[in-house]
Every structure is written in structure tokens, then in C-alpha cells.
Structure 1
Amino acid sequence: MNKVIISKEVDPAYNLALEEELLRNLKDNENILYLWQNDRTVVIGRNQNPYSECNLDYMKENNIKLVRRISGGGTVFHDLGNLNFTFLTKEADANLEKQLKVIIDGIKKLGLVAEISGRNDLLIDNKKFSGHAFYSEDGNYFHHGTIMIDINLNELSKSLNPSKLKLQSKGIKSVRSRVVNLKDLDKKIDSNSVKEALINGFSKVYGQVSNIKEYSKEEYIPSHFQKYNDRKWNFGESPNYNITLERKFSIGNVEINLDIVNGIIEDCKIFTDSLMLVDLNKIQECLKGIEFNEEVIIEIIEGYM
């Protein structure tokens, strides 16, 4: 049975929760094409460190969300100029060639010629417009990815450039690529035309679609919705790492060296060029054992200045 699921929501927590629920409830002989769009969001891979992948200060200033997905791979920026797709099937029936054919044939219907690069990317004229990741659990499988249609490349660049922190991480770092929007290649292309092309390609490659269903918060809340809104999931799943924050306080320049384990500050060492005597040991002990949150750390230190 072949189904198309479309999310009417642009909340990344909702869309990723729905994706996970579709995966866990997949039936035998079921093939699903799930199409979804997120408002301005940075999505990190399961084993990535947001502090080394993103400019969190810029994201906060511009109300850009951060969410962690369950699949591996690199960090991506989503906005409404981006269309996300997910192919869901039993792992035994997973066929990457067929899934890529759906996309390549759909893009061809729009007048563009795409080519495969490695296992994870699709290119046009050697520029990436689509990146992919994969996940399987208990015999169920999905292959999901992005299609850049008219994404804000300026926000993408600023969001995915980490702020200038000295950071050593054991996480998996993303590799930046040359990218292109489909709309830059043909002004007539928009998210609706790409959706239609993918649905047609899906029915052509997999066979007749039995139904097309839309989901929204008014009709249905996935069981994993709160998980993707949880700071512990989005930040606390980060690998262990060391980070150095440098800030100018009223007493002078302060350097804060932190050892982070599972999102918790395990050790801390503070240095300053201040001429004033400040009890740094007391600050260090106060920071140990709390969840890493840059704002909270700065507030605590300011309280001692």
C-alpha cells in the first residue's frame, strides 16, 4: 500500500514527531512518502554538538529554532523555502535507488537534470540542492532529506557558522558544500510544484497511491511531540566536549573553561585579567553540576562581580 502524508504544520517539533510516529507504526507492505516544511530552524544530526555546528547567539536573536533529529548526518537549515521529504518502508524493502529515482524524475519533470553525489547528496551543475540521511529501528526504515527551493542563503550561512568560541568536540562535524536553490535555476519553481512533482514521481515508481492525507495540530498530536521541544533532547544529547567562553565583564576580561558531559558542567576553570580580587573558586564550584546554558552561566558570574 502506497500513501502520501503531508504536514500542514511548520513547527519542527511537530513534524519530526510525526515522522517518528509514522516510522514506529509502519505496517508490512506499506510505503509512505511524507512531505513537510519547517519554519526557520536548524536541525542537527543525532550525534552532533550544537555548540560547534550553529551560531546559537545569532539564532536566538533572530528566533531561529534548534531541534535534534533521530537520524545521523550533518546539520541543515530549514525555512519555508525548503521542502523536506521522508520515504518510510520496512527495512527489508528499502531501496535507495527507487527513492532517489522519485526525486530525480520529479526534478526532471520540472525541467532540471539532477545527479547523485555519493550516498547523501543530489547535485545540479555540481551544486548541492538536496542532502539526505537514513535511520532504521526494529525493522522499520526511513530515508529523509531536504530540497532547497528558495531558502534564505544568508540566514543559512549565518546560522551554520558557530560563534567564535574555542571549542574541542568529540561530536561529528558537518562538511559545508556549495549549494543552489531550484528557484535560481527556474523562477517558476515553488514548493507546490515540487510537492506535485514528487507525488507524481512516487506513484510512478512505487505504483498507485491509495490515499493522500494531511495532518495538523488541530486533528492530531504525535506522541513524541514533547520530546522534540525538550531542551534535554536538543542540547543534552550532545557529545562530551570542552568549551571556552570569553566575555568582558565590569571587572575586565574573563575566560571560562568548561568540561561538559551529557550537557552538564563537570569541571570549570575561570581566568581573568582583572586587577580586582574575585573569589573564582566560589564561582567555579557554583557552576559545577548545572546544565550548560550560556545565559545562566553569565548571570551567575555577573552575580559575583
Structure 2
Amino acid sequence: MPRQTFDRRTNAELVVRSLHQLDVPASVNTRHDIVVADDIDGVDKKVSGSAYKLVNTRAYHHGTMLIDADLGALGRYLRPPPKNLVGKGVESVRSTVGRLRDYSYTVDHLSFCEEVAAEFCHSHGADVRPPIELTASDIDRDPKIRQYHDEITTWDWIYGQTPDFTHRLEQQFVWGAVDIILKVHRGIIAEAAVTIANAPALVAVAMRLAERLKDKQYSRAGVAAAFVFDGAQLGDEWTARRVQELAGWLGGAL
């Protein structure tokens, strides 16, 4: 919608009115989150997440709704990043969450979508239209949709715009302690520092690895490419096995 008329609370309240039609006692809090008051513990539980984007004269708003989600699994998926992973992105605010099914036995995905669509049309004076389902055949039939689909499945689109971050990885092996610090810019390792303690035979390997990690993708494939050494660079079979262990650990840790 036009940037000048965009208001986060207005959109959230539209969704809340839709939920009232489903007998869900939702409201909008001061952070413009959609929440439902829990009568048991008296805590407002967040049931929806939103994100916003302002581009030139336009404003975009999208969000999610927890209808019948597995909240136990959600907690596992949203584990905070480890302390040795430091980013420059905007941190999310932790909230107690709930789901619509806990407040209504009849609500489901279809009824939620229908109520939101109806309320949107009512609020904006638009005619209700049947939804159009986008299928795989539509993607293949329309060149513009295919172009967009192909773009958002590339590594550059998914990871190339990641905010800068620093990742420190530490591991204790039988033969020595490894400490690796990666500074990543737009999904590419801009700087790397590799230290291997208590293993003098691997000092040269650590120096080469730091050089080879630079400009590689922050991914398993990028790390694998950095570990391509020839026999002369490794020296002996013992060193080759240690490098193989390092490659397996680092690739799995990203």
C-alpha cells in the first residue's frame, strides 16, 4: 500500500476483527502484536508474527498465524544463536506464544483465511473474490513467475543478503585444540583466523586453511572447497587424516 497511509496497528486490528468472528478473544498490544489473553495464567500470548518493508513509496506487510502449530517443536526451532555467533541484524523480542486452537476448537487454516479475506474486503470496500491457487503448472506456464521462482531459490537470494556476522568455532580433538573465527559479509567469508594448539605439525596447515577459507561461501560446499589440499601441502598420512577430521567437523558445524 502507499507508504504515507501505511499503519501497522490498522492492519493488525483488521486481523483481530477477523479472529473475533471465529470467537477468538484477540487484541493488539502496544507493540502492535496480535495476542490472546490466557485466563489460566493471566499472560497475553502472542499468536502472530509480522514483518514490514518500506521501499520507495510503497509499504509491505506480511505475517504468520499460529493456528494449530506444535509449540514444543517451535521452541526447539527458535533456539537463540550461540554466544559465539555474533550478528549485526535486528534481534527479535522474545514473547510467550500461543495458538488459536487453544481458544477455539473449530478454527482451522481455511476458516482463518476466509475471515481475513472477508474482513479485508469489507474494510476496503472491495468485492469478495474467490482465491486463486498457484500450482507448479502455473510456474512453468508463466515466464515471469518462473523467473521469480528461479531467483528466490538461488544461493545469492537466500544467503547473499545476510547481515554481517562473526562466528567463532572451537573444538577439542585428541590431537589438539582448534579455534576458528570467521567474519562473514553477505554470505561470504571475508576474513578467517585458524589456530591449532598442541599440534606443532599442523601450524602450517592452519595458516593455509585461513587463507583458503577467505572468499569462500559460508556453507558446507564453501568449506569443502577450502579443504582441497594436494599431497605435497599435507606432507604425510597423519596430517591428511587430521585435515579430514577438521573438514568434517567444520562443515557440520555451519
TM over 0.5: yes
Per the alignment, residue 297 of structure 1 pairs with: 223
Distance 1:287 1:140, change over 3 A: same
SS at match of 1:102: helix
Gaps of 5+ in 1: 1-88
Post-superposition offset of 1:96: 4.2
Distance 1:96 1:304, change over 3 A: closer
- Deviation string for 1:113-151 (max 9, x for gaps)? 211123441111111001222223343332211111011
Between the aligned residues of both structures, percent identity stands at: 24
Letter in 1 for 2:137: E
2:70 pairs with 1:145: no
2:172 pairs with 1:260: no
Per the alignment, residue 6 of structure 1 pairs with: none
Aligned equivalents of 2:19, 2:192: Cα separation in 1: 52
Per the alignment, residue 16 of structure 2 pairs with: 104
Aligned equivalents of 2:88, 2:219: Cα separation in 1: 19
2:128 pairs with 1:128: no
Q: How does 1:20-169 map to 2 (within 5 A)?
A: 89-125=1-37, 126-162=44-80, 164=82, 166-169=84-87
Distance 1:181 1:169, change over 3 A: same
- Deviation string for 1:207-229 (max 9, x for gaps)? 24253341223124354222321
Per the alignment, residue 211 of structure 1 pairs with: 129
SS at match of 1:244: strand
Give the TM-score of the pair, scaled to structure 1: 0.63
**Is the contact made by 1:149 and 1:181 (CA closer than 8 Å) also made in structure 2?**
yes
Letter in 2 for 1:139: T
Distance 1:247 1:293, change over 3 A: farther
**Bigger relative contact order (CA 8 A; separation at least 6):** 1
Per the alignment, residue 277 of structure 1 pairs with: 201
Aligned equivalents of 2:81, 2:52: Cα separation in 1: 29
Gaps of 5+ in 2: 38-43, 140-144, 228-241, 247-254
**Higher normalized helix content (fraction of residues):** 2
Post-superposition offset of 1:106: 0.8
Give the TM-score of the pair, scaled to structure 2: 0.74
- Deviation string for 1:225-267 (max 9, x for gaps)? 2232122222221222221112355634312111222222222
Find the partner of 1:286 among 209, 212, 215: 212
Distance 1:92 1:145, change over 3 A: same
Post-superposition offset of 1:156: 1.8
Aligned equivalents of 2:185, 2:109: Cα separation in 1: 41
Distance 1:234 1:101, change over 3 A: same
Aligned equivalents of 2:210, 2:96: Cα separation in 1: 43
Aligned equivalents of 1:95, 1:129: Cα separation in 2: 20
2:241 pairs with 1:241: no
Distance 1:127 1:304, change over 3 A: closer
After superposition, the CA RMSD in angstroms is 2.6
Q: How does 1:165-204 map to 2 (within 5 A)?
A: 166-204=84-122
Letter in 2 for 1:293: S
Post-superposition offset of 1:198: 0.9
Q: Which segment drifts farther, 159-168 or 141-150?
A: 159-168
**Is the contact made by 2:86 and 2:165 (CA closer than 8 Å) also made in structure 1?**
yes
**Higher normalized strand content (fraction of residues):** 1
Q: Which segment drifts farther, 188-197 or 160-169?
A: 160-169
- Deviation string for 1:158-185 (max 9, x for gaps)? 2221464612222212122100010112
Letter in 2 for 1:254: V
Larger radius of gyration: 2
